[in-house]
Amino acid sequence: MSKIILLHAFLLAFLLASSHALLKWVSIQSHENYLELLLRQWFPITVALAVYGIVFFYYILVLRSSPVSILYPIYTGLSVLFVMIAGRILFNEILTSWQVFGAALVLAGIMLMGRV
């Protein structure tokens, strides 16, 4: 597999995981109701949505020169791993041994997909 495809998949996954982490941060801010949350946290919500948009358009551009059967599984697998890592590091979420085992399987799948 081309290293450039892996680089694109890595960047796409990192951006997507970052937007998920930002939305998680927004969700745990104190608020009385959803309207108050939206009004108080409009800027980080807007940034997270903008990053989603960037990921969407960047993905379209990368698909022009990459096989979707390789790019998509690697990108989504890395996204899962990055979100899990962000949850653990940024939000002190507990990882069970089953989650770690599942992450190892995802990583093994990414490595296998990358050999094609």
Q: What is the pLDDT of residues 30-68, one digit of tens each?
A: 888 989 888 899 999 999 999 999 999 999 999 999 999
HSE (side-chain half, CA atoms, 13 Å) at 77: 20
CB 51 within 8 A of CB 19: yes
Average confidence (pLDDT) over 9-22:
97
Handedness of CA 36, 39, 40, 46 (dihedral sign): positive
End-to-end CA distance of the chain: 6
pTM of the model: 0.88
CB 106 within 8 A of CB 77: yes
Q: What distance in Å separates the CA atoms of residue 86 and residue 72, rounded to the nearest whole number?
A: 21
Average confidence (pLDDT) over 89-113:
94
